[in-house]
Amino acid sequence: MDIKRVKDSIYWLYYQYLLITCSYVLEPWEQSMFHTIIVTVFAMVVYTAYVFVPIHVRLAFEFFSQIFGGQPESTV
């Protein structure tokens, strides 16, 4: 792909984002505040998923393996 097509597609996605969030009607300082809040919330969600989802998946796997007849970890 050439640079112009990539640039156009990124611009088109950004324009769709502006339309979906209705932030194209905001003033420039309001847009920057809105985008800052959106990026912050998105970063917090990604971080939380990165930290806590693996723990919950492991616990769910241990729970279901005990239910369906798996061997307990300590069989002393």
Ordered by start, the domain boundaries in the chain are 3-68
Distances (CA, A) of 48 to 5, 42, 44, 52, 57: 35, 10, 6, 6, 14
Length of the chain in terms of residues written: 76
Q: How many helices (H) and strands (E) does the chain have?
A: 2, 0
- What pLDDT is recorded for position 10? 95
Higher pLDDT, 46 or 72: 46
Q: For residues 20 and 46, give the distance between their C-alpha atoms in angstroms, rounded to a whole number.
A: 21
What is the Cβ-side half-sphere exposure of residue 68, based on CA atoms within 13 angstroms?
Answer: 6
The pLDDT, as a whole number, for residue 68 is 85
Return mean pLDDT, the chain.
Answer: 90
Per-residue model confidence (pLDDT) at position 31 = 94
List pLDDT tens digits, range 46-68. Answer: 999 999 999 999 999 999 988 88
* Residues 18-40 pLDDT 10s: 999 999 899 999 999 999 999 99
